[in-house]
Structure 1
Amino acid sequence: MMQRLEQLRHWLQQAAGLGEVSLVPASADASFRRYFRVQHAGGTLIAVDAPPEHEDSRPFVAVARALHTIGLNVPEIHAVDFDRGFLLVSDLGSTLYLDVLDESRVERLYGDALGALLVMQAHGPLTDAGLPPYDNDRLLAELELFPEWFLGRHLGRSPTDAEREVIDAAFELLLTSALEQPQVTVHRDYHSRNLMWVDDHNPGILDFQDAVVGPVTYDLVSLLRDCYIRWPRDR
């Protein structure tokens, strides 16, 4: 780990031309990627350490550039080395939507998030980013996480034959609905832990590297039925 950190520091100083820098851990996610806030003479940036044997940074860069082109506030790519797995991107701050969502801010924050989502969807599939289709096989693989992980791993039980028939019927209904909907760019994790509250051009949007071309309602449900926050039913 320390060797990677020193390699990253050297790359920032030499290839990215930042000179002397200070690296402070910024965040982590469910992957091998590590994020550092880079403090330098010109301000702050975010350095990403994504070991190439574990992480392919090309989708992130391609989608970031495509979303930036249509006017969304995503990390701007300042420098990249795919062979080493290093990226240098703009800093969107450290305030998640989840940290500040309350009754006094909910209308504004959700309004901004819905506005950004509308921009993304209005441009249709971002074909320049090489997004894969959210097709039947990909959707079904994710639906199968319910019996495999929730029922099997979490509850420790397997569905009966009758229950499996109900599950399969529900899956078929959901698949048919998803595939019949207008197909747009789908973030796939558009919720309060991947949206940043920023003063200018809110929201900042993160974690879009797994974007696909899929159903128009997917991100809307992800945002409004956010599993990380609970609102009263009438809200």
Structure 2
Amino acid sequence: MLNIPTPHNNAKAGDFAKTVLMPGDPLRAKYIAETYLENPRQVNAVRNMLGYTGTYKGKEVSVMGAGMGMPSIGIYSYELFNFYDVDQIIRIGSAGGMQDNIKLMDVVIAMGACTDSNFAYQYGLPGTFAPIADYGLLSRAVETAKRQGTNVIVGNVLSTDVFYNTMSNVNDLWKNMGVLAVEMEAAGLYMNAAKAGKKALCMLTISDHVYTGEALDAEERQLSFGKMMEIALELA
């Protein structure tokens, strides 16, 4: 607690709940707080990376933006785990579908996160680290989705550092390994959680498909993302 506030987060000790939901977009964090939380209060506004804490069904929960990419979520999740004593972070984001059976609005839960990032270099490991979700959070998310009537697909995703890749066949290579969808943050979050001895889960709504070119419009995003948000809130 001696390291707070930080250059990236002006919240004080106790401002964050033990569970933090992290969408990429800080404005989506604001929307979640104002739509789902009771008595939300803003706890961070540095660089407009908005963070809020309130209650959901009587349980304290926080929501904060993570930005785009592993360097961004790496900073925010590290500080939440290590400086603000947060126990679990649930990423709720969007992803591009890769497999033929993945459809728009599907909710994908990242059991594991492949990556082309060098994020794990810092640990000096004598091999390749496999970033995985906390099983307790994952299993509870699946059960919550069943009760909610929401179909979820559990498996491997790709956390990439490169949005515009010059390799024309890169998606085919990952698809051939059974990767369900591509996003940019889960692997970094999972590694930070592992190093800190904390819990993490990444849930993704398919907003577009890499191969078909289909994409959700604004209204469809709001409706489909709501299901994912409600699953995450139940895990607090």
TM-score where L is the length of structure 1: 0.29
Larger Rg: 1
The normalised TM-score by structure 2 is 0.29
Question: If each structure's helix is expressed as a fraction of its own residues, which one has the higher value?
Answer: 1
